[in-house]
Each structure stands twice: as structure tokens, then as C-alpha cells.
Structure 1
């Protein structure tokens, strides 16, 4: 994030929750494979269209106690909104490059770089921002507590930009008063400049976070897409 503070809040371990409405083979608890961690090759993932998802989030029933800023120095104007089975917000996208040190994400490429993420891979290592699509949620505060809202590390997120849908996981936590951040891989897949210092986009990004969902292992992007599409279809049916 271009204006991030350097505080990283560790998240408590999240219990795996079954999603009763999903078919057994789409539960998101499969072991996945090493190939699932490869970079996504297309911004539009699955058959659920951006238009169908956006049609369900045209109005906001605010569940946060206040609103968030998109960057330091901007006014607090972004609420967290509640829907049946999900929460969502519409904001900018700053680029998060935290986690495993790579040629694209390191102290030289990112002035705010940290070598850890709030949630970790199945092998205990931090997430890899340049290959795994993930979203950053604000650390819990008096404004909003993501875990109390049913949002967990590894939870599925539909990220929508420029009429494209990209599935990601909840992978990191950020400042308590700022919202709108996703990993290098998320930005790149959506055609957003992924440079952590000068990239991102100032507006036009919708984040739909599906409650009580969890991809296992968190680093399996393939599992996130499979579960995400099922949850997106369910979200459209139920709203």
C-alpha cells in the first residue's frame, strides 16, 4: 500500500468451517497441488460475470461502525457493507508485496516491504504476493472486526475491476483505518499496474468477501477459484 504504516497484526488461527449449501466436491478443503500456486492466466475466472455480481452490490447496508480511508490523507468515505453470505466494499487498490522475498517483492522494489503476512502457507511460510492473488483486510478495530463478521484468513474474495472477476483469498491484514489493498498477483491479473510503490488504481475496485469460507491450503489458487465460483453463484441466488 502506498501509504501503509509498518504495523502488522497477527491473526488468530481460524477454525475450518463447512459450507452446508455447497456440493461436497466444492467445499474448498481439498489438499490442492503445487501447480495450483502458479500465476493466474486470465483475469476473468469462472463463468460468473462481473455484471451479475455487481448487480447484487448496488446498495450498501453498512455494518462497519465508521468508514475507512483509501490512503493516508484522504477522507474516510468507504463503508463495509453487509449482504446475505458476504461483506463487500468499493475502493481503490494499493499493491501489497509483503511475504516471501522474491525478485518482484523485496526491500528494493517496495519501500514498505515486510517479510511476513498475517496468514501463512500450509508449510508455515509467509504468502507469496507476486504469485498468489490475495486481499488485505483492515486489522480489527473499533471501526470493524473482520473475524466477528465471519471473515477468516484464507477466506474467498471475488475482486472485480474493469468488468473482470478475479478470485483471491484473505491473505494479510493492514492498517486499522485504511482499506483497499491486494497482492501484486491480484493487481497484475486484473490489468492493474502491480508496482508496489507507484502502481495500483485510485478507484473502481469491488471486493466481495464470502463469509465463513476457507481455502485449504491457502496457497492453492486453483482451490480458491473452484470454491469462489460456487460461492459467487450462491451469492447471486440468495441476494
Structure 2
């Protein structure tokens, strides 16, 4: 089931946790406790993001939901428009193909001191790997529908909905999970400190699923022992069912975050794509070392 621990009040986290990501300049670091207490298992619905497990049950109403792997097949959203310079057969954003990115992350130089779970009741199997200029991991994709309310992401559609995200856009408002492709990274802990490896709020990521590439930003943080979550918009762009209670992918998703990168401003997806494509091209050609 999906559970979470109680959230900190805005006054408690305030500028130390969220405001830095709204200011111009260097990317905001992930504070050790940012969202670690709001994105987890077993708390009151509506206090933060979630990680989905099988079987999935609503902590709010107690009604069980089947895990995505067990649900009937759904019609996938239309494929994102292909970049005008993309090679034939490429799907997703930009000219760098999923095949090229996956070939680059075939071997893992583990940088995390331990392994992560993809869900609360799953074994610890996922390492965080790294090169000189990127970190990556391979996991599932659970749906984060938090942030500003929208048609598909709100308290009615998601029993665990929260109007907050760890990082805010340039006007001070939370991000929009339905509009903005973003990913969730674990809070800093004994296993791994994202900030120490250049992964912060607004960092640019390439998310790969099957033959699709979706560029996204780091927009939220989660429990220090779980990994594998992204926004509604990220899932939709990858052709994954984005429903907050019955969507997601059970496995096969690769997250590549480019160290010390930054989308300016964080909510500008066009800037994210431009930066992501440039860094992805460097990554697949091996120019990052």
C-alpha cells in the first residue's frame, strides 16, 4: 500500500528547504530533510508525494487498488512529437535516442553506499551509479501527482494528494505535476547524498522507457530508502499510464541526471529540453569521461 509520514509545516521548512530553488543563480541543493518527512509511507493523505507498492491500497479510504502490472491494459497516451532533427525511428524529445542512452548506462560504477527499494515491501536492489558528469539508476516509475491542483492531479483524483513540492517555480508557487515533467530523488541519507554529486532542485534529467526519452527536472524529494518516481507529465510523455492511483510502470525505467545542470527557470520545459539534449549528446559520445 501507499503510505507516508507526516509533513513538516511550511514554517519549519521555509526558506531552508524550498525557497532556495526559487532564486536565480546556482541550482538549489537538496537539504538532507527536504521532503523526507512528507514523501514516505503511512501518513495522513494529502501531506506529500508517494511511492506505490503492490498491492496498492488507498491509505485514505482503505480501498485496494491493483498494482499497475496486474491492471488491464490501458491505451497509452499519444507519442510525444518527434524533434525535427531526430533520426528516423526516434521517439520522445530531442535527437538523442533511447537506444544510445541505454547503451551508455549498460555498466554501473556504484556511487551509493547501499541499495534502494523501489517500493516499501520490495527488496533493496537498486544502486545509484555514476560517471564524471552524470548519475543514473534503473527502477520502476510511481506517479507523483503533487503540486498545484489541476484537472487530473487534485485531492479528488488522488487520495494522497499534496499541494506542495520540495522545489518551487520562479514565481514562488509549487510545481505542477500534470504540466511539468519532473522526477523525485531520495532525500540525502546514509545510502547517498544527491547534493554531493551535483543533483539538486532544477537539475536536468533524461528519463528513458522502452524507446522513448523524456527530459525532466528534479522537482521533488522522497524517502531516503526508496527510489523510482516521477510526475504525471513525465509518465504521460513516456507513454506510461499517468493515473495517480492506478498508473505507473513496474520496472524498466532509467533515470539519468546530469550533474550540476540547471533548467532556468525550473518550470521552463523548453529550457529543460534544450539543456537535456545538449548534455545527453555529450553523454552518449563519451565526452563526459
TM-score in terms of structure 1 length: 0.85
Aligned residue in 2 for 1:100: 148
Aligned residue in 1 for 2:20: 13
Alpha-carbon distance between aligned partners in 2 of 1:13 and 1:86, rounded to the nearest angstrom: 22
Preserved contact between residue 4 and residue 174 of structure 1 (Cα < 8 Å): no
Matched, 1:212 2:260: yes
Preserved contact between residue 91 and residue 179 of structure 1 (Cα < 8 Å): yes
Alpha-carbon distance between aligned partners in 2 of 1:188 and 1:172, rounded to the nearest angstrom: 18
- Paired residue for 2:120, among 47, 60, 72? 72
Alpha-carbon distance between aligned partners in 1 of 2:284 and 2:98, rounded to the nearest angstrom: 11
Structure 1 residues 6-155: aligned runs within 5 Å = 6=5, 10=17, 13=20, 15-16=25-26, 41-42=80-81, 44-155=92-203
Structure 1: segments with no counterpart, 5+ residues: 18-39
Structure 2: segments with no counterpart, 5+ residues: 8-12, 28-78, 82-90
Alpha-carbon distance between aligned partners in 1 of 2:218 and 2:169, rounded to the nearest angstrom: 12
Matched, 1:156 2:204: yes
**Backbone CA RMSD of aligned residues:** 1.8
Preserved contact between residue 19 and residue 172 of structure 2 (Cα < 8 Å): no
Tell me the alpha carbon deviations over residues 201-224 of structure 1, each in whole angstroms, 9 at most, x when there is no partner: 100000000000010110000000
Alpha-carbon distance between aligned partners in 1 of 2:192 and 2:252, rounded to the nearest angstrom: 22
- Paired residue for 2:275, among 224, 227, 239? 227
- Paired residue for 2:240, among 185, 192, 210? 192
- Larger RCO, structures 1/2 (Cα 8 Å, 6+ apart): 1
Alpha-carbon distance between aligned partners in 2 of 1:115 and 1:145, rounded to the nearest angstrom: 26
Alpha-carbon distance between aligned partners in 2 of 1:85 and 1:3, rounded to the nearest angstrom: 34
- Report the CA distance between 1:103 and its aligned residue: 1.9
- Report the CA distance between 1:129 and its aligned residue: 0.3
Alpha-carbon distance between aligned partners in 1 of 2:195 and 2:135, rounded to the nearest angstrom: 12
Matched, 1:3 2:2: yes
Partner of 1:153, secondary structure, is coil
- Report the CA distance between 1:3 and its aligned residue: 2.9
Count of residue pairs the alignment pairs up: 216
- Report the CA distance between 1:13 and its aligned residue: 2.6
Partner of 1:104, secondary structure, is coil
Change (3 A) 1:5 1:120: same
Higher mean displacement: 100-109 or 5-14: 5-14
TM-score in terms of structure 2 length: 0.71
- Report the CA distance between 1:200 and its aligned residue: 0.2
- Report the CA distance between 1:4 and its aligned residue: 4.9
Alpha-carbon distance between aligned partners in 2 of 1:208 and 1:183, rounded to the nearest angstrom: 15
- Report the CA distance between 1:12 and its aligned residue: 7.3
